[in-house]
Amino acid sequence: MEKTKIFLDENYMPKRWYNIQADLPKPLPPVYSPRTLKRATLEELSVLFPMEILKQEVSQERWIDIPQEIRDIYAVWRPSPLYRAIRLEKALKTPAKIYFKWEGVSPAGSHKPNTAVPQAYYNMKEGTQTITTETGAGQWGSALSYATSLFDITCRVYMVRVSYEQKPYRRNLIHLWGAEVFPSPSNKTNAGRSILKENPEHPGSLGIAISEAVEDAATHEDTKYSLGSVLNHVCMHQTVIGLESKEQFKMEERYPDIVIGCVGGGSNFAGISFPFLHDKLKGDKKDLRVIAVEPQSCPTLTKGLYAFDYGDSTKLGPIAKMFTLGHDFIPPGIHAGGLRYHGASPIVSALKDQNIIEAQAYYQTEVFEAAMLFAQTEGHVPAPETAHAIKSVVEEAKKCKQTGEEKVILFNASGHGHFDLKSYELYLHGKLTDFEYPTELVKQSLKKLPKITED
Ligand SMILES: *Cc1c(COP(=O)(O)O)cnc(C)c1O
């Protein structure tokens, strides 16, 4: 009999994170300072991040030990189950075998605590009193609030205003775990005030919220900043997802042909795919396909430019080479708030640039349609972000139906959608609209990239 879920014993929880930097065909381009447009110095970055995090950010070691204190907390929800989506397969009448790694079981309901906990831990070790951060849909803000509460650290969250208004329950969760949360743009920072002056009704964006959190950290003693995605160390912390999945696939005596994840900044995609890409980069699994899925209204990897750009809107954060739509591009207010970011992880971007991975983009109504099918077959209600990955799975499974191929498809179910039911309500009432890709806005935005001379 085929199993519905594959559980891994706690003893098999990964003891080390996988650092894909050790296996990249080319080293990553360096990070530049927004002030000098020269290479960023450790000193500049250490205003924002603790030393251990910075070391991990540039490490070329393939494996990095997970401290036991972190593994003890991971054990609250890890290892997470790997599910076989038998009922979805039946509904699609596909010969494909569909698996999903279910990250919705964490306290915050997504993959984000996988990095929130180590980030809070390393900050605690180095004496940080307060951590500031941004959040889109509230997933990251709630995950970091949970993590900081475990180590007695104060947490201040800048939440993108449209999401602050659309998703009140995540705000409550942030308060419940003892953190403060402000709608961004806010009047608490120069960055926020200058944007509000031009437009008091500004809906906000991740780029602006990052600017506010960075400014807050840079101007307060014992305060550091934390990013929930994009950066190398964040992607690395998330590899527990793929490492566990590999063990679970061994128990199934299978190996995926296709690995799929949605991409906002790229961290859950990195988490599920990098441990499998390890095999592809070694030459063992040359035919493995890895697909990054994004919204049509913010198609960074499919339509952006691979170039140096600021990580945030008001040019306070470091400059990295990545796929970008331009740092002052404000994506339309789609309901997958976690996917509204102008850039993408430099590692994921490099993999895309070198054609090691593929990218696809979908409209939000077709994404919600796939999410409904998933909820009605598998039961779990996916986050709108996760639904992007599901849409791609459905498309790939349909191709298998046409060709008769029994491909093994794995996707990361990055989070549950219990706090996103308002979005589902709008979808069910036919009130969700699709946003065309704003070609002209992006063209303007891409004219403002910083001029970096690579040394
Ligand atoms: C934040 C979030 C995402 C997008 O972020 P990535 O860093 O690209 O993973 C996707 N899914 C869920 C459920 C999220 O909370």
Question: Could you tell me the distance, in angstroms and rounded to a whole number, from the CA of residue 38 to the centre of ligand 1?
Answer: 31
Q: How many residues does the chain have?
A: 455
Q: Is there an atom of ligand 1 within 6 Å of 392 CB? A: no
Write the residue with the smallest CA distance to atom 9 of ligand 1.
Answer: 268
Prior bond of 113 cis (ω within 30°): no
The pLDDT-based confidence of 330 (bands split at 50, 70, 90) is confident
Q: Is there an atom of ligand 1 within 6 Å of 115 CB? A: no
At 334-343, the pLDDT tens digits run 787 778 789 9
pLDDT higher than threshold 80 for residue 46: yes
Q: CA nearest 158: which of 172, 178, 140, 177?
A: 140
Reduced to 3 states (helix: H, G, I; strand: E, B; else coil), residue 283 is coil
At 108-144, the pLDDT tens digits run 999 999 999 999 999 999 999 999 999 988 999 999 9
For the residues 91-113, what does the mean pLDDT come to? Answer: 98
- The per-residue pLDDT of the chain, averaged, comes to 95
> Dihedral of CA 215/221/223/224: which sign?
positive
What percentage of the chain exceeds 70 in pLDDT? Answer: 100
Question: Could you tell me the distance, in angstroms and rounded to a whole number, from the CA of residue 92 to the centre of ligand 1?
Answer: 26
Angle at 116 between CA 113 and CA 117, to 5 degrees: 85
pLDDT higher than threshold 90 for residue 382: yes
User: What pLDDT was estimated at residue 334?
Assistant: 75
| DSSP line for 382-444 | B-HHHHHHHHHHHHHHHHHHHHT---EEEEEE-BB-GGGHHHHHHHHTT--------HHHHHH
User: What pLDDT was estimated at residue 207?
Assistant: 84
CB 401 within 8 A of CB 92: yes
Question: Could you tell me the distance, in angstroms and rounded to a whole number, from the CA of residue 268 to the centre of ligand 1?
Answer: 6
Give 3-state DSSP helix, strand, coil % of the chain, rounded to 5.
45, 15, 40
At 424-446, the pLDDT tens digits run 999 999 999 998 888 888 899 99
Write the residue with the smallest CA distance to atom 5 of ligand 1.
Answer: 264
Q: Is there an atom of ligand 1 within 6 Å of 103 CB? A: no
The pLDDT-based confidence of 409 (bands split at 50, 70, 90) is very high
Distances (CA, A) of 298 to 5, 334, 346, 390: 34, 9, 17, 18
User: What pLDDT was estimated at residue 37?
Assistant: 95
Q: Is there an atom of ligand 1 within 6 Å of 139 CB? A: yes
- Report the distance separating Cα 134 and Cα 378, nearest Å: 32
Task: Please enumerate in sequence order all residues whose Cβ is within 8 A of that of 36, keeping only pairs 6 or more positions apart, or say none.
Answer: none
Which atom of ligand 1 has the smallest separation from the CA of 109? 13
Which tokens in the block code for residue 100? Answer: 């999903």
At 229-240, the pLDDT tens digits run 999 999 999 999
The residue assigned the tokens 């040359």 is 286
Report residue 409: phi and psi, to 5°.
Answer: -110, 130
Q: CA nearest 312: which of 297, 302, 322?
A: 322
Domains located in the chain, CATH noted: 5-10+67-109+233-438 (3.40.50.1100)
- Report the distance separating Cα 269 and Cα 412, nearest Å: 7
Please tell me the least confidently modeled range out of 40-44, 263-267, 320-324, 379-383. Answer: 40-44
CB 112 within 8 A of CB 235: no
The pLDDT-based confidence of 206 (bands split at 50, 70, 90) is confident
Which atom of ligand 1 has the smallest separation from the CA of 416? 13
